[in-house]
Amino acid sequence: MGYLLRRIAFYLFTAWAAITINFFLPRLIPGDPVQSLIARSQGQLDTSAIQSLYILFGLDNDQNIFEQYFAYIGQLFRGDLGLSFTFFPTPVSEVLSDSLPWTLGLVGLTTVVSFLLGTFLGVLAGWWRGSWVDVVMPVTTFLSSIPYFWLGLIAITLLAGQGGLFPSSGGFDPGVVPSWDMDFVWSAVYHSLLPAITILISSMSGWVLSMRNMMLTVSSEDYITVAHAKGLSERRVMVSYAARNALLPNVSGFALSLGLIVGGTLLVEIVFSYPGVGFQLFQAVGAKDYPLVQGIFLVITLSVLVANLFADLIYLVLDPRTRKEG
């Protein structure tokens, strides 16, 4: 239990750090942050948007910085992230709650599938090193060097568009109404196929590589030799002895690099105009919608932290050593 509690404490600390960064960044801008944002937006802001900014930054009254800080945290706990000015006067939290399910569905699911599939392929690539499987290595290296969004562009050109196999944009057909009926669900799944395949192809290769390397490292351990000597079947040694042990570092690596991966996958949404958080981020940057960008940063960070916690739980199940102490 001690392990889990320590992890939870760490995530709470990280969440606090992210919130604090969010609070102090606009205040570190020399001069009046609102003024400089107005200057940067080149007259695209109307007066109500400016007022919303002053409220968000706590500059509309004479509180000192600590009072502002606690007021800000209090605001966050009520789910108040300020007003978006791309979608003025919709609150940021409302904008996000519309888009977050899409992202969780697409990015969350594909990230997990890509990890599982990549790990599986990595086990095979590591076990059969020196055979034709080695051909996979340069291919995966190349694929992992391509930015996700570029692969998306290519996929759209080749497979979508007029007369193509897949729709090139959106999360569902414009004709159907979002609800939990078959039409809508099918349409949503159909629209998510191409982005999902794009993310799969480009994010999987990293897992193949790291799992292969772990397999190679594990495979020269003595217990593998013993397992062979006992006359266990090839498959048994591969799965229950080599892969079982090689998996642990890969799982902790998965948890660690989630933050990096999510950034990349969000871009796929931009290319496909998928109605998720990534696409919203794109629109927010274009419109210099600082409150929305901040809100997205917080929401993504918190989601990654929760995902990390899940990865830790899985690690706990996989590695008996972490359960022993405590």
Partner 1 sequence: MAMPTADIMPMLPPSEAPVPATRKRRQRRFLGNRKAVVGLVLFGFFCLLAIFGPMIAPYDPGKRGDELLIGPSGDHWFGTTHLGQDLFSQMLDGTRSVMLVGIVAGVVATVLAVLIGVTSGYLSGVGAEGLSALSNVFLVIPALPLILIITLSLPETDDLTIALVIGCTSWAWGARVLRAQTLSLRRRDYVEAARATGESTWRIIGFEILPNLTAVIAASFIGTVIFAVLSEITLAFIGVPGVSEWNWGAILFWAQSQQALAQGAWWWFVPPGLAIALLGTGLALLNFGIDEYVNPRLRSGATKVRGVKMRVGFTPVLPKGTKR
Q: Should residue 216 be labelled a site residue for partner 1 when binding is judged by CB under 8 A?
A: yes
Q: Are 205 and 144 in contact (CB under 8 A)?
A: yes
**Is the CB of 131 or the CB of 179 nearer to partner 1?**
131
Q: Are 127 and 215 in contact (CB under 8 A)?
A: yes
Stretch in the footprint of partner 1 (CB under 8 A) among 22-30, 60-68, 185-193, 316-324:
22-30
State the Cα–Cα distance between residues 101 and 87, nearest whole angstrom.
19
> Which x/- pattern over 235-264 shows residues binding partner 1 (rule: CB under 8 A)?
--x-----------xx-xx--xxxxxxxxx
Stretch in the footprint of partner 1 (CB under 8 A) among 58-66, 74-82, 176-184, 210-218:
210-218
Torsion angle in degrees (nearest 10) through CA of 140, 141, 145, 151: -20
Two tokens, residue 150 = 């570029």
Q: Is-cis flag, bond preceding 89, omega within 30?
A: yes
Least distance in Å: CB of 297 to partner 1? 4
Footprint on residues 107-146 left by partner 1 (CB under 8 A): 126-131, 134, 137, 141-142, 144-146
Interface residue with partner 1 among 45, 53, 123, 305 (CB under 8 A) is 305
Q: Should residue 13 be labelled a site residue for partner 1 when binding is judged by CB under 8 A?
A: yes
Interface residue with partner 1 among 65, 71, 153, 189 (CB under 8 A) is 153
**Is the CB of 55 or the CB of 248 nearer to partner 1?**
248
**Is the CB of 185 or the CB of 248 nearer to partner 1?**
248
State the Cα–Cα distance between residues 82 and 89, nearest whole angstrom.
10
Q: Are 135 and 121 in contact (CB under 8 A)?
A: no
Interface residue with partner 1 among 5, 21, 65, 189 (CB under 8 A) is 21
State the Cα–Cα distance between residues 186 and 175, nearest whole angstrom.
13
Stretch in the footprint of partner 1 (CB under 8 A) among 69-77, 151-159, 185-193, 316-324:
151-159
State the Cα–Cα distance between residues 213 and 229, nearest whole angstrom.
23
Interface residue with partner 1 among 86, 219, 245, 280 (CB under 8 A) is 219
Footprint on residues 63-82 left by partner 1 (CB under 8 A): none
**Is the CB of 163 or the CB of 182 nearer to partner 1?**
163
Q: Are 242 and 220 in contact (CB under 8 A)?
A: no
Q: Should residue 56 be labelled a site residue for partner 1 when binding is judged by CB under 8 A?
A: no
State the Cα–Cα distance between residues 299 and 277, nearest whole angstrom.
9
Interface residue with partner 1 among 112, 282, 314, 316 (CB under 8 A) is 282
CA 78 from chain centre, in angstroms, equals 24
Residue indicated by tokens 């570029």:
150
Integer-rounded Cα Rg, in Å, for the chain is 24
Interface residue with partner 1 among 119, 167, 301, 315 (CB under 8 A) is 301
Q: Should residue 308 be labelled a site residue for partner 1 when binding is judged by CB under 8 A?
A: yes
The size of the interface with partner 1 (CB under 8 A), counted in residues, is 90
Q: Are 249 and 265 in contact (CB under 8 A)?
A: no
Interface residue with partner 1 among 96, 209, 243, 247 (CB under 8 A) is 209
Interface residue with partner 1 among 94, 186, 193, 228 (CB under 8 A) is 228
- Please tell me whether residue 208 adopts helix, strand or coil conformation: helix
| Helices 182-219 and 148-159: angle between axes, nearest 10 degrees | 130
Two tokens, residue 6 = 């320590």
> Which x/- pattern over 175-204 shows residues binding partner 1 (rule: CB under 8 A)?
---------------------------xx-
